[in-house]
Structures are given as C-alpha cells and as structure tokens.
Structure 1
C-alpha cells in the first residue's frame, strides 16, 4: 500500500520537475533528490508491503514511507493552490503585481521549507532502509514474484464460482421449503463465515420450483451496521413494486404493520441473509405473519447459533448446520480454481495439500487462495512453499477463522500495487450497498489510482482492474446489464472486515456513522446519515468526501469548503437534501469528481468555470435543465451526465428530460459521455468534434437537422452508445444519410417516427441492444434486423403497423430478451424452428388484437420467462394450466405470467404451476426489473 502512495507521488512529481520555472531556486534540487530516493525505495516496498504484517520494525518503516509520501503530496498541492491564487487571474495594476509577487515569494519560501523538511525525513528513512536491508541476509532472493494475472475467461467469483459439495445441502433445504405445511415455517442455515451459506441459499432461492411455489419473493441483506428503519424500508421496497407514495410519511411501526397486512394475503418467501443478532430477528419477525392458509417460508443465514435457535422455535421450523467441505471436495475445488479443472502438477501436489490443510475446508478460503496460486509460476516451487509458511499452526477452536483471515489478507498483499488502492477504496461504501461499477471507475480515476496505458482510455484500464479483482475473487458481480456488462459489484462480508481494518491501519480512509472518532489526518471520509461528527474537525488533508443517506439539511456544510476542504478531489453528495448548488464548491481547485445525483439542485452557477480540473459532473435525476456557457471552460471534463426520467406505469414519450447546452459544446474535447442534450443545429454540428465520445444522448431532435446529425455521427468513431429522441412523437427521425456508422456501436435507442428503418443498422455487427419506439414503420423491421449476429436485447414499442411478424429460422442467433409493446395492428406472430435459439425472456404488452398464442413458441427451448402485460383475455385463457388449449405449447417455460396495471401497481397471475388459491392478484416483485427495462438509458 505504501508503494501505491509512492508511485502516485512519483507520477505527479515528474511534470513538476519538467517545469522548473514554477519552483524557487534550490527547491528543484530538493524535489529531484526526493524523487530519486523514493524511486530507489519503491522497488523495496513491493516486498515490504507484503511482509509488513509479520514484522513490527518493517511495519513502522513502511508507515513512515507512506506518511512522507502523503505529506509531500499535500505540500505540492498546497503550492499549486497558492500559485493559482496569486497568478491565476492576471492583474493590470503594477501595484497589484508587486503585492502579489511578494505574496508569491512567501508561498515559494513555504514550499522550500516544506521540501527541506521532507528531504530530511526521506534521508532518514532511506538510511534506515539500508541498515534494515543489510540486517536480513537473502531478503531480496526471497521476495515474491509479481506477474500479471492471466485472465481465465469467466471471472472466479466468490459467490458464483463452480460449486462443490452443494448438492446434498440444497436437496435437504428444498425438501423443507417445498413441503405441504400450510403455516409459516422458518429455516435457518448456520455456520462460520466463509462456509458458503449465502451461496447455498441463493441456489435454493433461484430454483425455478421455488419461484413457482411462492407468490412474493424478497432477499434482504441484514448487515451488521444497518439500522432498523433502513431494514424495514428495504423489506418494503422488495415486496411492493412500486412503493405506495403514502409510505414515506409513515413511522416505522406503521410500516411494519403495512408489511404484515400485505404479506397476510400471499404465499411468500423471505430470505434474511446475514442476521447477526437475536435482537434483529426479534425486530423483523413481527412483520412476517403466519398466514396459515398460504404456507409461507422464511430462510435465515447466520454465523450465530443463538440466532438460529431463536428463529426456529415452532414445531416445523428447521436448523441446518452447514459443515466445511470434505478433503476430497476441497481438493476438487482447489484444482478447479487454480488449474482451471486440470490435474495438479505432480511437483506441486505436496505443497498444495499443505496449503489446502490451512484452509480448513472453507470454500471462501479455498477460492481466495486459488486465485493467488493461479498467478504463480508452476516451475517455481519456492514461491508456492512460501505461501504455505504464511499460516500459523492449526490449533485452537478458531484456527479456521484465523487462517481464513490470513488467506484473505494474503490475497490483498499479493495484489499488484496499482490494485491495492482501488481495492481499499471499496471500504468507503456502506456495507449494505451494491457498488455501481461506472461510479467506482470514475472515482478511481479522480483519485489518480488508474495508470495510463498507451492506446487505452483510463476508463478502459479501470475496467481491466474490475476484471482482475473479479478474477482474484476479491469482489463479486452483484448485477449485470442485459448485454452482460457488469453493472454493480459487492464485497464478501469477511473480506469487507479485512479491507476496513487495513484502510484504518494505513490511514487510507474512514467511515463515520452515528458516532466515531476521526484520526488526526483524514485523507478520505465516508459519512453515513449525519455530518454532526465531522463538524469542527480538522479536514485540511481530506481528498475524498462521500456522503450516503444524509439526513442533515447541509445548510452549514458549505462553510467547510474554503476553510478545510481546499485539497478535495472527490465530492459525492448523491441524494443529499440540497436544493441549491453550493457555490463554495467552485473554490475547490483540485476537484475532479462532483456528484449531485438525485439532489434537488436546479441551477449551475457561472462560477463553475473555476473547476478547471473537473472530470466528472453527475447531475442525473436532479432538476437542472440548462447548463451555463461557462461549462465550456472545463476542458478536462470527461463525463457530463444531466438528465432524469418521469416514469409511471408504462414509459411515455416525454418521460426523459434532458438539458439545454450552450453553443460550442465541441470545445470539450475530452468528453466521453454526454447525456442528454437538447438538439439544435449548432450543437449537432459541434458534436462531430468530440471524437472521444463513447456515449451520446440527444432529446428534442428535429427532422430538419437530420443531415447535420448524420454528418457528426460518422465522425464519432469511438461511439458505443447512441440515444436519439425526437421533439414530438410524430416528428420524424431522419438518419438515412449515414454511410459509415460507428462500427463499435453496441447500444442504439431511437424514439420517434421513422418512415423507413435506416439501412446502416444491419451493418452494426457489434450491436448488442436495440430499442425502437414510436417508429410506426410500414415495413416489417425483422427483415433488416434478423442477421445482427450479436444482438442480445431487442425492444419494440409502437414500432410496426403491420398485422403479422415472422421470425425466420436462423434469425437473431444471439437474442436473449425480446419485448413487443403496443403493436396495435398485430394479430399473429410466427416463430420458425431455429429462430432465436437462445431466447430466455419474451414479453408481450398491450397488443390488443393478438388473441392467438405465437405459432412455434414451443421451439423456443431456452425460454425461461414469458410475460403478458395487459393482453386480451382470450389469449390468456388459452394458456391456463387448468384446461387451456395452448398450455402445452408453453409447458416447458419455467415462469409464465399474466400482468395488468391497477391504480397502485402491477397485479400478476401465474399461468404455470400455482394452485387456484394462489392466483389472487398481487404485485409481483420481479416487476421492478421490467420497469427499469422500459427506461431509455444509454
């Protein structure tokens, strides 16, 4: 970790050394000396970082190096801040020039004094390093080799790894879960951390038989730090889609009663994952009724045997004690993860058995150590043996847990230096949250953690970091898009405990909740709920401030900016209760990331032009509808996100609200993401200058500007995602003039009338997602789209005015999700055998004349989910399991639902597998994912 700090500092020193004019005479030499010494120390740090935990002297030395790197970074940033203040704006008066020159001299003398002090500290550290290095013969020969992780195809995920030894436990839980008992039954899975309790229960929860059996499903993560109100809100959100508006005004007891009343009417399955304390169970259980008529189930995972006993007190309740893997199962898992299923090389068998014995049969430990072993050279047995000696003796009751933590710590220590800071940054997020990967990537870049690589953008490099952390089993996939992109990630709770502790030990960052002490020098601060504990604290060294679930008005908060937060690079205020843009923010010269998503901010001040280093400005779901011309001064801006959605039951044409941008947007040459701007001819012309754009969103597009936009799009050779919405539903989107579309385009969203489908779309062989809405085409669009080899997700809304659609054999070879909405004239759908061979989800909505089941639907053998929204009763009745004439055609589909919209949400009837008593209409929990799919996101 110290190596990360030193490397970051060296990267920032290089440009400073190349511009000697900014340094007072004599300072340049000191900075050069520090630079050279730190370069020499850096190589040693790669070894020291990995071994500091086992040696107290080394730990102190590494801390000293880390502190001096931090202090020098602070000194240089302070110096640059003073230079800006004294020289940044220019003066015409000679008196002013003289005054500010004197002031500048003071600043330069200050930096000279700082550098002299830091130089003395570096000399002392360097001398002690030499003495220490000589005191350990053979030190350098024993250092661990670091080499680039070989990407192994599919990421080695902690919770989604190939499972070993799970068949028996799953079978037993399924028997308990699906028995014929009509009352409420609790099933607790208990065992120490790392045994795979969550993995096991998730396998059961996702089983199609379980999905069919229960009308309401909810998975609730009960983290150690979550408070009771957040817990109830999470339960409410998971079981009711959408949450009724009046809920926001309820107190916690009323919410609990409402949950109980709602669940009283349905068969439900609620998973409470990771219950830490009996009090948490006692609080939750009163909201989960017995409803004897329906036969509901609660599943609890816990490390605490007392929780398991307290939750299972009724006669039919069950406790399952999950045991460690057997030696044979452990060996199978190790070989799968280390050697990709191949046999272990003979020369490594003994050392692998030694390492495996230290893991104590814990799947998490085995997967984690396997990810480390997979990076090692098979021919270097010393490298493997050194890992075995890392662990202590197998004695005492807690040896498994102790060794587990050693394994996970070793996984962290084995990281290349550029990943350590990235991984520690995960400690800044509350433990009950999924972490959006793009948000994380932008934060990493703003912090300076991402190393430049020739031919790659920082975002592409950071995506590689995400992949590498997945392959090393240090993070898990929490959510993906329909095209397979990783949308969010999470950290296993045991790993989280370790990363939080390391973050504290190394003064990397601090999380402050209801109460807590701050260290003397805080560099990164995450605040949950309230700011009371950071008022009147010394925050002069702060580089990142992230606020989650703020309950404060923040009216006093802006006063901190000019006084204490002058070195701030990251300010994340997502969801904070603020209505006005804090103008004090514009005094933060070093700011690179500003997040105001889901705030009530309406206007951006002209003073934003002062934020010359700003790279990300996130105003999604705020109320900003116009950008000032001064935004054009931010030449380093890479991500400009300003839009919001207004969605009710179904998406409507004006549900997406963009922003008016000033003329001249083409001067922002660094822009990669620009969403959503209102189209006008001047700006549509300017777009062609933004050749770094990856994502572009345009609203209020006018037909007369078609040729202008087409000309610009042809120049955007790096474009991956394009969204265009016309000014009105009847206005034409004319994109016929594109002769050379961006060949890397992966996502295309077109909303508005089109006389014909643009011919160039069928040349987009990288296209994975296509949404066409309100097109009102006369010609069957399938003719032009069926040969798109990589198309995974296709949505039609009022696209076609013909009476029939024909999916031909061999067409849409990769399609997994298909949605057909409001095709008012559609009367028949035909699917040839061999069409859409990979289709998994098929949705029909509001096609009022479609009264026949699609011909050939039985050929869709991979179909898992079939949904009918507000479709004719005549069609639905033919699919009922109790005598429907076409039921046999969809009998192979796991989930078949009929859905209709009522005043306060979706009512859902299962058409497959439920008994008559279960067909009482209730809001279906999975509808939330559908409603998200109706949003037009690029």
Structure 2
C-alpha cells in the first residue's frame, strides 16, 4: 500500500520540477535526487504488502518510507499554499511580479530547508533498504492456502446450500452442446468456489460421463511448464499408463502438443482452480482441443473479467451467490453449537454476528469454529465479539485462514486500486456509497491517473468496475436502466480493509470515544458526534474531512476549533447531511480544496469570496436551499461538477417540484464543466452554454419558447453530452428544440418537461439513448412511432404526453426496453401490445389513466414481466384483474407481482391482486412507494 503513497508523491515531484517556480539553488537537484531514490524503492514496495506482516524489519522500513513520502507531500502542499496566498495579492505588472517574488522568498527558503531534511532521511532509508529475494520478479506465494486445500477434502454431508448450485453446474456440463464449452465459477474469496467445483468434479455421474478428467491447481504464482506437466501426469494416470520420462524435460509447446493428442479423441473435463490472470487461459486453451465430443472446462476465479473472457467463445459463466439467511443460520449453528440449536439467550447476538458474515460460507465456518470454544453462559463475552469484530479477526489464530483468503485479493491489487478500496473504510458500516460521489472523491484525493482519450471520471469509473469485477465490491442498488447507483463492501472484507487502513494510518475513524488515535491524522471521518474528536496529543495534517450522521448542531462550526492549523491543506471537505444552516466562512481560505459538499444541509447562500477556491473541482449543493450563485462563481476555472438543485418529492406531479439556481454571470467561462444541474434559463445563458464543450450532463429549468433557437445551436456544439434535461417555465410553455441538425451522438438520457407542438425528429437518430422521460408534452401524434426503433432504450416514462385514444406497441418495437411507465394519459382508451413488442420488458407501471377501462390487449405477450403496478386506475380495470371472476386475470397470471394502489387520505393504499384484494403489509407499501419514486423522479 505504501507503493500508492510513493507513486502519488512521484507525480507531485514531477509536477514541481516542471512548474515555473523559482526554487532556490540546489533545490531542484535535491528534488530530483529524492525522486530517483524513491523510484529505486518501488520494486521492493510492490511485494511488501504480502510480506511485511511476517517480517517486522520490512514492516518498519516500509513505515519509514511512508512517513518520508508524507513529509515530502506536506512540504510541497505547504509551499503551494504559501504561493497561492501571495498570488491572490499580485497581478501581471512587472512591479507586482517583483513584489510576488520578494514575498515568496520565505516560502522558497522553507521548502529548501524541508527538502534538505527529507533528502537526509531518504538517504538513511536507502542505506537501510532490506535485501529481499524475488525483487524484479513477482514474489512467489504459497501454492495453496490451507483453507483451499481443506475445501478439496470436505464431504458433501458437511456442506450447506450446495445442492442447487451443484445441480445447475451439472446441467451445464451435461447439456447437448457438442463443442468444447468453458464454465467459469466466479465470486469473492470464501464463497466456496473450490468446494462446489470439487463436489461436481467428484460426482459419480460426472466421472462416468467424462472418463478423461483432471484437476489443476493454478494459484497466483503458477508456472506454465509445471502446470502443464502436472496436467500430463494426471491424464496418463487416468488412462492407466505411465507418463514418458521425457515429459520432465519438455518445454511448454511440446507439453501442449502431448496434452492435445491425449484429449483429441475423448470427451474430457478439465478443472482449472483459482485462476488470477487471463494469461492462464490464453496459455492453456490451445492444449484443450475442441473435438466436438461435448468436452468441458470448469474454471474458478475471483475475477469477473476472467470468467467472461474464458467463456466468450462458447460457454456460460456461473456467479456463485452468498448463502440465503436461513441456510447461513443453519451452517452457523452447525459449526458453533455442533449441530444443536442456538441457546435462546444467545440468539440475538449470534444473529448480529452472522449478519457480519454476510452469507460468506468461509466466514461462517471460521467464526462458528472460533465461537464453539467459548462458554455459553456469559453473554457479555459474545457481545464483545460482536462489538469488536475487527480486533477479533486480528487476534484469533482460528480466523487466520479466513483473513489470508480475504487479504489475498487486496494484496494482488495494483497500487492505484488499493488506495481506492482503502478509501471505502471512511464510510460508516452498512452505508450504501453513491457511485458518483465516490468517483469525485477519488479524483479529489489524487487516486486517479490520467489516460489518453479519457476524462478522469471515466478512468475512475473503470477503477470502480474493476473492483466490482474482482468481487471486492457489491452493487447495492441499480438505476432502472441498469447503471450502478450505490455500492458497498462485504462486511468481512470491510473489517480486513479497515485493519489495513488503520495499520497503515490511511484514515482515522472517529466513531467511538475510546479509539486509539495515531500520531498524525491525514484523513478523518467523524461519525455521529464531534465529541469523539480528540484534542491534544494528536497532530492533524488533514487532507480529507468527512462527517456522517452528526447529532449536534453545527451552527458555529469551525474546522479549526478541533484541529488548530492542521486543516489548511484540506483537499476534501464533505459535510453532506450535516445540521448546518450557514456557509462556514473559513472554508474560503482552504485554498487547496478540490471537493466541497454541503448536500442535504440547510445552507441558503454562498459568498462571493468562494472565488478564492481556485483548485475547486466539485461543488455539491444538492438539496440545499441555495437558489442563486454569486457572479464570482465563474472565476473557478477548474470546476468540473456544479450541482445545485432540490426536489419536493411529496408533490412529484406538481410542475414546480424541482428547484434549480440562477447566476447573472457568463457561465461559458467555466470551460472545465462536465456536469451543470439545474440552471435557470435566460437568453444570454443559452448562448453561453455553447462554450461548455466538455459538458457530459446538463439540466435546464424555466426555459421559454423564445430560448429554443439559441439552445439548439449550443447543443450542437456539446459533442460530449450524455444527459440532457430541459424543463419549461410553465407546463403549457412550448419547448422549441426541433432545429438540431447535429444532435449529440453519445446522448444516453433525455428528459423533456413542457409542451411539444410536435415530436422532435432528431431524437430518432440517437442510437445510444438508454432512458427517455417526457412530461406535459400533450402530443396529438403517437410518440411511440418515433421511439420504438431505438436499439438501446431501456427505460421510458410518459406523464401527460399524449392526448390520443390509442397506444399501439408494434412487433419488434422497443427491443431493449425494461421499464415502461405511463401516467395521466387523459385520452387513452385502448392499449395494444403485439406479439414480439418489448420482448425484454420487466416492469410496467400504469397510473391515473381514467379512461382506460380495459386491460391492455396482448399484455400476455410480455413474458419477461416481473411486476406490474397500477396506481389510481378505474375500478372496472382493476376488477378485470381479480383472480376470482376477473376476465383478464389469465393474461397477467404469469407475472410474479401485480399491485394496485390508490391515493387516499394523504397516503397510498397498496393491494396485491394475488391476495384477493387484501391490503399489503408495510413492506409492500414501501416497495410500491419506491417504485413510484423510480417512475416519477427524474435525475440527470
């Protein structure tokens, strides 16, 4: 992990050497020397993560490298801070340049002194550098962890929850496909991939079908020739012949040829267990012939990309899932209480411990085994395990294998992903982390490396996807069009990551009053209360400050009140959800700040002095009461994300339920903007928007008909636009956006709220459109005609869009649609769905269509539907869907969930048609309300 600190510092050193800063004589040479020495250490740092826990000397050396990297970063940041402080008082005249140089002399002397001191420390560290084997090549790891070996010895009677996945895998092995097929089993470490594969491999039916078979242990440290020799030996054993002595001297190509000849005339099954790299499959696949005999290859891996890569030609990936709650509880009791039931007085605390295991079999077995030796009379001892779970993992020998398995995935990460994963330790447990919030934080922290042709946001998004594909993160919630909305770590992995973050002083979590504080705090997460923040012995050198769920008011909030001067180097200040009503004045003096979030606070105004935050990249004022930004906002030339809006969720059908902001300044000066939401329109603004060619997402409020021509011209220049939302000044105001001859080719989301005199025909050409929302359009022509051929459209919403009597969904129309919402189509009397239309539709929502008395004709053709929800529909419509006596019930009985709801007395009454009209439970009610929000709240 220290490799990350050094790598980020090397980037800073390179920038310092390139900048036109008048450093004192000899300083550049010292900086270059430090850079050279640290670069020479990178090889050893690459292997340190996997070894330092077992080598105290190495661990101490790594800590010294980390400390000197932090000292150097502090020196550079303090120097930049002093320059910025003086730069604000200078201008471009020769006299003021002279004054600037004079005033910064002290700063240049200070950094010269700091660098001299750091250079001495670096030289001492270099002299004491440990001499480790394997530097320059990848360090060899143990061929197998004990827990993986144990997985091969388990009997089926000892396993829980394996019957269903085992049957599914055997079905895949036995299908009628004659070509060689690959079946990769993937999922996070500890899920039981090896155990499942071995149970399938040893099944008598499988052995009978695949008389030629072999099991190959791969691991991270595989050597190709050794792997191939092992495979040759196994194949000769299974056919009952001794392997030729010459095999021991063969090279890879010859070994592959031998294997291919042995397998060419037989139906075979080869298992490659614990694959970490795509090159394993590339190295082996040519030795496994596609002999058209129904041969199969099973492969276990933690990485989704390897799974998809290996089965790309022919095969099907198998994502192993976590144990369901009841099966997890059964396994826990089996291991903890030797098959007996849990004592009643321990059940509550045991359920809490089990929840932390998150359905991970390895964790349940390991923790159950550790608890099995504890006395059952003293409940406090069990509660202590629950409370201090991380410490229990660290200090319990019986949990060592589990820690190794979970740590292995972390240790194998490239340095840039280690920092990104460690950063998640800042968030509270059970906290669902917003996708874009995390990406912007990573960028502000400096974790994201630039790549040619990509924005930093796109690179960060690829990091997030890689962590997901490596099974290190889990998706908590997706948007209706399939995008990730929130994510989190598995609880046990989180504990491992938290231990690493604490050990490496990556971040400090102030949640409990009795925490042990490090000597220096660089990233601080305050949870629940400010009283947990220690004053006195701890030195604050804050780069990041985040607060979560604070209970006390921040009426007189001051960062300096609890960390003195140690906050002036802040890059990240996230006060989301804090009880704050006034913009803290001291923020404008945080000259290095890159990320500022006041989201979900009661702040009402932003001062013009915010212009001093020249490094600011993200300003998040969502769901605050800010409606006007100062003209000085356009001086923030690095601003990439300007987010100022709020919703009134309870009145979603009200036209003015969303509020944006206005600014009387030339917004076109903000050339770096990528997201601008929601800005109130005026004639000058429409022209200015054309200068923002980097925009990815744009939201406009209060647009008038006469603004249309200028906006169309500006949109044509936004070649990078992905999302566009336009709302008229009133619901009967025409949105005139028809004259766009070159629409943004990459546009994925389009939201139009207001009158349309006719449908904008340029929308037909947007082949990348994924989501479309139209409100108050009041079209007389059928809008489906213009949308049905869009190949990637997944989510479509209409509210008062069409005044016609019929909607006709034609065969082959909407090939990718997953969600369809129809609301308040006042003239609609008949809806028809031809066979073959919307073949993948999963969710249908129809509400407040008062004249629609008949159930849509052809709804039975929508065979992929998972749920249908009807809100405030006519009684005749609902009656026809009743299980008893409903003439249309047979057409929707294939749908797992059908709900009907009515708005009564200020709340929704929700009914399930499957329960003969009985009112649903509160959980069903909540489900329906969430669906309502999905259907009606549009976000850019």
The structural deviation recorded for 1:791 is 0.6
The answer to whether structure 1 residue 790 and structure 2 residue 792 are counterparts is yes
User: Which of 872, 875, 878 is the aligned partner of 2:877?
Assistant: 875
Pick closer, same or farther for the CA change 1:126–1:601 going to 2, 3 Å: same
User: Which of 445, 448, 459 is the aligned partner of 1:447?
Assistant: 445
The residue that corresponds to 1:431 in the other structure is: 429
The residue that corresponds to 1:573 in the other structure is: 575
In structure 1, C-alpha distance between the alignment counterparts of 2:33 and 2:213, rounded to whole Å? 48
Pick closer, same or farther for the CA change 1:630–1:535 going to 2, 3 Å: farther
The structural deviation recorded for 1:100 is 7.2
Indicate conservation of the 8 Å contact 2:417/2:463, yes or no.
yes
Pick closer, same or farther for the CA change 1:70–1:332 going to 2, 3 Å: farther
Indicate conservation of the 8 Å contact 2:43/2:136, yes or no.
no
The residue that corresponds to 2:531 in the other structure is: 532
The structural deviation recorded for 1:354 is 12
The structural deviation recorded for 1:137 is 4.7
The residue that corresponds to 1:854 in the other structure is: 856
User: Which of 464, 467, 470 is the aligned partner of 2:468?
Assistant: 470
Indicate conservation of the 8 Å contact 1:371/1:473, yes or no.
no
Indicate conservation of the 8 Å contact 2:217/2:273, yes or no.
no
The answer to whether structure 1 residue 924 and structure 2 residue 792 are counterparts is no
Indicate conservation of the 8 Å contact 2:218/2:274, yes or no.
no
In structure 1, C-alpha distance between the alignment counterparts of 2:776 and 2:483, rounded to whole Å? 27
The structural deviation recorded for 1:346 is 5.5
Pick closer, same or farther for the CA change 1:539–1:560 going to 2, 3 Å: farther
The residue that corresponds to 2:610 in the other structure is: 608
In structure 2, C-alpha distance between the alignment counterparts of 1:875 and 1:128, rounded to whole Å? 81
Describe the SS at the equivalent of 2:216: helix
Pick closer, same or farther for the CA change 1:98–1:693 going to 2, 3 Å: closer
The residue that corresponds to 2:41 in the other structure is: 41
The residue that corresponds to 1:299 in the other structure is: none
User: Which of 495, 498, 501 is the aligned partner of 2:496?
Assistant: 498
In structure 1, C-alpha distance between the alignment counterparts of 2:805 and 2:523, rounded to whole Å? 60
Once the two structures are superposed, the pairs formed by residues 287-298 of structure 1 within 5 Å of their partners are none
CA root-mean-square deviation? 3.4
In structure 2, C-alpha distance between the alignment counterparts of 1:433 and 1:840, rounded to whole Å? 28
Once the two structures are superposed, the pairs formed by residues 92-241 of structure 1 within 5 Å of their partners are 104-129=104-129, 132-133=130-131, 136-137=132-133, 139-141=135-137, 143=139, 166=161, 168=163
Indicate conservation of the 8 Å contact 1:68/1:118, yes or no.
yes
The residue that corresponds to 2:56 in the other structure is: 56
In structure 2, C-alpha distance between the alignment counterparts of 1:761 and 1:95, rounded to whole Å? 57
The answer to whether structure 1 residue 700 and structure 2 residue 712 are counterparts is no
The residue that corresponds to 1:243 in the other structure is: none
The residue that corresponds to 2:636 in the other structure is: 634
Q: TM-score, normalised by structure 1?
A: 0.74
The structural deviation recorded for 1:554 is 2.0
In structure 2, C-alpha distance between the alignment counterparts of 1:840 and 1:797, rounded to whole Å? 20
Indicate conservation of the 8 Å contact 2:910/2:919, yes or no.
no
The answer to whether structure 1 residue 909 and structure 2 residue 911 are counterparts is yes
Query: Which runs of no fewer than 5 residues in structure 1 stay unpaired?
Result: 146-163, 172-192, 197-323, 336-341, 356-367
In structure 2, C-alpha distance between the alignment counterparts of 1:693 and 1:93, rounded to whole Å? 35
In structure 2, C-alpha distance between the alignment counterparts of 1:693 and 1:767, rounded to whole Å? 17
Higher relative contact order (CA 8 A, sep 6+): 1
In structure 2, C-alpha distance between the alignment counterparts of 1:922 and 1:426, rounded to whole Å? 30
The residue that corresponds to 1:548 in the other structure is: 548
Q: Count the aligned residue pairs.
A: 741
In structure 2, C-alpha distance between the alignment counterparts of 1:98 and 1:333, rounded to whole Å? 79
In structure 1, C-alpha distance between the alignment counterparts of 2:871 and 2:531, rounded to whole Å? 48
In structure 2, C-alpha distance between the alignment counterparts of 1:922 and 1:45, rounded to whole Å? 51
In structure 1, C-alpha distance between the alignment counterparts of 2:701 and 2:495, rounded to whole Å? 45
Once the two structures are superposed, the pairs formed by residues 383-782 of structure 1 within 5 Å of their partners are 401-515=399-513, 516-534=515-533, 536-537=535-536, 538=538, 540-558=540-558, 560=560, 563-648=565-650, 650-782=652-784
The structural deviation recorded for 1:21 is 3.5
Pick closer, same or farther for the CA change 1:332–1:437 going to 2, 3 Å: farther
The answer to whether structure 1 residue 74 and structure 2 residue 74 are counterparts is yes
Describe the SS at the equivalent of 1:426: helix
Pick closer, same or farther for the CA change 1:62–1:732 going to 2, 3 Å: same
In structure 2, C-alpha distance between the alignment counterparts of 1:812 and 1:644, rounded to whole Å? 32
Indicate conservation of the 8 Å contact 2:794/2:817, yes or no.
yes
Indicate conservation of the 8 Å contact 1:49/1:62, yes or no.
no
Cα deviation 1:486-510 (Å, max 9, x = unaligned): 1111111110001100001001001
Describe the SS at the equivalent of 1:765: coil
* Worse overlay, 99-108 or 738-747: 99-108
The structural deviation recorded for 1:555 is 3.6
The structural deviation recorded for 1:927 is 2.1
Indicate conservation of the 8 Å contact 1:649/1:901, yes or no.
no
Pick closer, same or farther for the CA change 1:668–1:100 going to 2, 3 Å: closer
In structure 2, C-alpha distance between the alignment counterparts of 1:861 and 1:923, rounded to whole Å? 23
In structure 2, C-alpha distance between the alignment counterparts of 1:459 and 1:713, rounded to whole Å? 22
Pick closer, same or farther for the CA change 1:18–1:731 going to 2, 3 Å: same
Indicate conservation of the 8 Å contact 2:634/2:665, yes or no.
no
Query: Which runs of no fewer than 5 residues in structure 2 stay unpaired?
Result: 142-158, 167-187, 204-209, 224-271, 286-298, 303-361, 371-396
Q: Which one has the largest radius of gyration?
A: 2
In structure 2, C-alpha distance between the alignment counterparts of 1:702 and 1:468, rounded to whole Å? 44
The structural deviation recorded for 1:902 is 2.0
